[in-house]
Amino acid sequence: MASTHGQRLIFSFLLLFAFYTVGCIVFVHVERPAELERTEENRELYLKMKELYSFAHCEDPAFQRLSFCLEQKQFSESLETYFNDHGNAMVDRRQWTLLGCVFFLTHLATTIGYGDSHPRTPEGQFATIIFAIVGIPIMGYTLMQVARLNLRVSILLLRKLGAKVDSLNAQISVLWSLLAIIIFGGALVYHWLEPWTYLQSVYFCFVTLSTVGFGDFLPSSPSTQAFSIFYMIFGLGVCASIISLLTGLVAEGHSAADSFVSQNMKDKCRDCGSSMRG
C-alpha cells in the first residue's frame, strides 16, 4: 500500500531527528573540548602579545594622557579585533554546543557549507564525511516533503479565498510567490536579528537558499542560528523546486533549438541534393 504524504513527512522528520541526535552526541563529544582549549590558548597568546607593548602605569591618572598610553589602548583593541576576526576568538563562540552542532549539521546536510563552522580535529573531520554521506540524502528527502507541504497548504488557503489554482501554470506561480515571501520575509527577520541592512539580509537569504553559502554573512547569535535552522529546512525545498523548473525550461529550450537546427540542416541538404541532380 502506497504511503500518504503525511506518513512520508513524519518518516522524514524522524530520520532527521535521529540524524541530529547522533550527530550532536558525536560532535559535542569530539569538537567541544577542542574548541574550549583553543579559546583558552588564544586568550593566553593575546595576553602575552599585549604584555610586550604594555606599560603598567598607563592606568594612573598622571600617565593616561601620554601618547604612548593612548597608543597602547588602541593597540590592545586592534589586537583583540584581529584575533576575533581571524578565527582565533578569545571568547567562547559556542560553535560546538547543542545548538551550534544542529546548525552545523543543517548546513552540512543541505550542502550550504558556510565555512565558518567546521571541525578542527581529525576525528571531527572523519565524522563529517560519514554524516555528510548519511545526512545529505535524508535532508534532500525531507526538503522535498516540506516543499510539497508548503505548496499544498498555500493552494488550500488560496482555494478558500476563491482563487483557482488547478492548472500547472497557476501552481508554478504559487511556487514563485512562496519563494518571494520566504526570501523577502526572511530578510526582514534577519534585518531585525542581525546588524545587517535589509539588502544585505536579502543577499544572505538568496545565498543560503541557493546553497551557494559564501560565508561572508553568518548568523552570530543563538536566536539567529535557531531561526536559520528552520529557515533552511522550510525554504530550501521551495527554491530547489524553482531551480528544477528552470532547469526543465533550459532543457526544453535546448531540445527546441536542436530540432530547429537539425531541420534546417536537413532542408539545406535536400536543397543541395536537388541542385546537384538539376
The beta strand positions in 52-151, using DSSP E, are: none
Q: Which pLDDT value is given to residue 105?
A: 95
Task: Please give the average per-residue pLDDT across 86-98, as a whole number.
Answer: 75
Kindly indicate the confidence band of residue 262, based on its pLDDT and cuts at 50, 70 and 90.
Answer: low
Q: What's the distance, CA 166 to chain centroid?
A: 33
Q: Give me the percent of the chain exceeding a pLDDT of 70.
A: 71
* Whether the Cβ atoms of residue 213 and residue 112 lie closer than 8 Å to each other: yes
CA distance 17 to 24: 11
* Amino acid sitting at position 78: S
CATH number of the domain within which 82 lies: 1.10.287.70
pLDDT digits (tens, 9 = 90+) for 4-40: 878 999 999 999 999 999 999 999 999 999 888 888 8
Domain count, the chain: 1
Higher-pLDDT residue of 55, 247: 247
Mean pLDDT, range 141-166, rounded to an integer: 85
pTM (2 d.p.): 0.77
Residue 241 lies in domain: 5-277
Q: Does residue 167 sit in helix, strand or coil?
A: coil
Separation of alpha carbons 145 and 197, rounded Å: 33
Q: Are 62 and 110 in contact (CB under 8 A)?
A: no
